[in-house]
Amino acid sequence: MVQNVLKALHKLGARKSHLAHPSVRFFVQLCSRHGMIPLKALMGAPLDVSFDMRLPGASFEYHVTPDDLLGARLFWQDWRHWEPYVVPQFARFARNSRRIVDIGAHTGIYSLFACALNSSCEVFAFEPFPPIYARLAENIRLNGFESRVRSFQAAVSDTDGTGRLHIEPDATMCALSDSSGELEVPLVTLDQMIPIDGGTGLVKMDVEGHENRVFLGMERVVQDSHPVIIFECIPGAAAADIDDWLRQRGYHIFSLIDGVPEEISELRPERFEFGNHNFLATHRSHSG
Q: Please state, rounded to an integer, the average pLDDT across all residues of the chain.
A: 87
Q: Are residues 265 and 161 in the same domain?
A: yes
173 and 32 fall within a common domain: no
Boundary (domain end) residue, out of 28, 48, 78: 78
Same domain? For 55 and 96 the reply is no
Same domain, 101 and 67: no
Q: Alpha-carbon distance 218 to 239, whole Å?
A: 17
Total structural domains within the chain:
2
| 66 and 151 part of one domain | no
Does 288 reside within a domain? no
pLDDT digits (tens, 9 = 90+) for 140-166: 999 999 999 999 999 999 999 998 887
User: Is 99 within 8 Å of 201 (Cβ atoms)?
Assistant: yes
Q: Mean pLDDT over residues 57-80, rounded? A: 91
Q: Which amino acid is at 11?
A: K
Structural domain for 46, as ranges: 2-78
Q: How many Cβ atoms are within 10 Å of 246's Cβ, its own excluded?
A: 21
Rounded to whole angstroms, the Cα distance separating 25 from 10 reads 14
Cα–Cα distance for residue pair 252/12, rounded to 1 Å = 55
Residue 194 within any structural domain of the chain: yes
Q: Are 100 and 201 in contact (CB under 8 A)?
A: yes
Residues 84-126: pLDDT tens digits?
999 999 999 999 999 999 999 999 999 999 999 999 999 999 9
**Domain match, 52 and 189 both:** no
